[in-house]
Amino acid sequence: DGGITQSPKYLFRKEGQNVTLSCEQNLNHDAMYWYRQDPGQGLRLIYYSQIVNDFQKGDIAEGYSVSREKKESFPLTVTSAQKNPTAFYLCASSISTYEKLFFGSGTQLSVL
């Protein structure tokens, strides 16, 4: 079955550590996205990518980095510069940025 796979489901970060969240899709979608969700808040866009080797900052990109070396993969690195990384992270993809988004099951990141 086609879909979006996020791993791991739960992740813990020590202070000063960088961590990478994985997102893989086999839907042959061009566009991919990373959203952050905090309790009681909606989803906020971190980064998005329309094509391979190209990506744009969203509303809250500071402290995060991404790469898009393959169409299927869009990993997100939460750097030590992100001072409040505890949140639920959702990856999504779409045929184009004008189409509906398909989401993965999310990664809960917590700080030790």
Partner 1 sequence: AQKITQTQPGMFVQEKEAVTLDCTYDTSDPSYGLFWYKQPSSGEMIFLIYQGSYDQQNATEGRYSLNFQKARKSANLVISASQLGDSAMYFCAMREDSRDSGYSTLTFGKGTMLLVSP
Q: Which of 15/54 has CB closer to partner 1?
A: 54
Nearest to 38 by CA among 99, 111, 108: 108
Instruction: Examine residue 58 and tell whether it contacts partner 1 (CB under 8 A).
Output: yes
Q: At 73, phi and psi to the nearest 5?
A: -125, 140
Instruction: Examine residue 28 and tell whether it contacts partner 1 (CB under 8 A).
Output: no
Give CA–CA dist 70/75, Å, rounded.
10
Q: Which of 7/17 has CB closer to partner 1?
A: 7
Give CA–CA dist 46/26, Å, rounded.
22
Task: State the residues that interact with partner 1 by CB under 8 A.
Answer: 33, 35, 40-45, 48, 50, 56, 58, 88, 90, 92, 97-98, 100-106, 108
